[in-house]
Amino acid sequence: MNVVFKDNIKSYLLIFLLSIIAGLSVVFFCEFPNNDLWAFSYWSSETFGFWMFSTSLIVLLSEKRKSATINSTIYIFIMFLITTIYKSFRAYWNFYTPYNSLIDLSMHSISGWLLYSIPPALICGILGSILWSGRKNNTWSKILCVLPSIFILGETLLLFHNVFVNHTKLFSAITDLIWFILYFVFLKNEVFKNTNKIDSNLYCRFDHMKKWQIILISIFQIVIIIISCSLVILFANKTFFKTTYIGVNKQEIFIPKYSYFKDESGMTIATFYSLKSEKKLRKEINNYMSDFEYFENDSTYGYRKDDLIIQSYEVVDNGLFRKIFIVYGVVCSKRLLNQAVGKSLRTHNLKSKKGAQVMRKNEKITALYERLSRDDFGKDDDRQLDRIYAA
């Protein structure tokens, strides 16, 4: 296998420049919409094919294991660092931060930038060190080299499914297909060109294995790894295998089974992911809510059963999955609830920039929730809310 990146300063500087270009490409595509047919912004935020392709090539074309580890660490670290700095600066330019200058913002954000960038860089460095073993001329090394292509192919198939079903993410699907083809050509020309020169000790054991057998073994391995990791994640989630969500005040709220808990904002809005169809989710939720009684007064409204109050129980279809929102157990003004929850549930239909602004405003509204949950809130909340939405 050819060597492109050697163990010297010149090669490390080249990797540094490539990582800057990669980070700037993320910044560039962040400014595009993410909810149309092409969905350019999705490529920069949630598509991994390019990063798998480029990092794998950097590792496999490195001269030594040490240089492969350093190269992959630098590449991912700089890319993540540029991305998080850009997002912080964009928040400042949109007046979403309390800082008075970029210098003030930078001084208070350095630790956060490093915490965001270092962990993925270290993980990729370790994985790069393992993947570098693919340069060795034996069967297991070839299996190791095939693994990235299987990941890229899997993501490509998922993206094209999204294109045909939801008519979006076309750019990510096409680029992932390109990376898969290029990596396949790389495997053919660099990895499998000397199949007959396998290490003699291993050749005696694996001389009967063909390329398709190696690929099948690789697929089996990656499937086992994915299933194992998925089960660990799902069992660690506090609601996935349950049908009851425990609120902050120990309220027991029904949730459809196999709903993945995402987060709870403002201590009153719980968010979940589900792979069930929207129709099936709505049926389960409607059956549950049928036991609740609707009420309305000057200060609040919602659905009540015993001591539990649910203001809203909504399902939003996001394509491959459904998002579930539960607003519960808080006494707040009807106007505030309509604007905060109603707008946040509609942001999936907005352009990315406008949606980001609305979601950011909703974070400010969440702060008002805590004030409204106390008995001593002032009379200027409506005026403050008007200023938030007038921004």
Residue 245 pLDDT:
86
Given a cut of 70, whether residue 275 has pLDDT beyond it is yes
Contact 296, 282 (CB under 8 A): no
Residue 206 pLDDT:
44
Q: Name the least confident of 5-14, 155-164, 216-225, 320-329.
A: 216-225
Work out the average pLDDT over 343-371. 48
> Taking CA 74 as the corner, what is the angle to CA 139 and CA 127, rounded to the nearest 5 degrees?
30
Q: What is the pLDDT of residues 55-71, one digit of tens each?
A: 999 999 999 999 999 99
Contact 222, 149 (CB under 8 A): no
Average pLDDT, the chain: 77
Work out the average pLDDT over 273-283. 86
The residue among 120, 151, 157, 139 whose CA lies nearest residue 225 is 151
Which of the pair, 196 or 263, is modelled with greater confidence? 263
Q: How far apart are CA 98 and CA 108, in angstroms?
A: 11
Tokens linked to 380: 């200027």
Residue 259 pLDDT:
85
Q: How far apart are CA 133 and CA 149, in angstroms?
A: 16
Residue 121 pLDDT:
92
Work out the average pLDDT over 82-107. 86
Q: How far apart are CA 33 and CA 23, in angstroms?
A: 18
Given a cut of 70, whether residue 383 has pLDDT beyond it is no
Q: What is the pLDDT of residues 120-174, one digit of tens each?
A: 999 999 999 999 988 888 888 888 899 999 999 989 988 888 887 777 888 888 8
Residue 17 pLDDT:
92
Residue 363 pLDDT:
57
Residue 239 pLDDT:
81
Given a cut of 70, whether residue 353 has pLDDT beyond it is no
User: pTM for the complete prediction?
Assistant: 0.53
Given a cut of 50, whether residue 269 has pLDDT beyond it is yes
> Taking CA 157 as the corner, what is the angle to CA 155 and CA 159, rounded to the nearest 5 degrees?
70
Given a cut of 80, whether residue 340 has pLDDT beyond it is no
According to the per-residue pLDDT averaged within each range, which of 55-59, 141-145, 200-204, 303-307 is highest? Answer: 55-59
Given a cut of 70, whether residue 364 has pLDDT beyond it is no
Work out the average pLDDT over 179-194. 84
Calculate what percentage of the chain has a pLDDT beyond 90: 17
Residue 20 pLDDT:
92
Contact 298, 311 (CB under 8 A): no
Residue 302 pLDDT:
84
Tokens linked to 12: 């490390």
Given a cut of 80, whether residue 198 has pLDDT beyond it is no
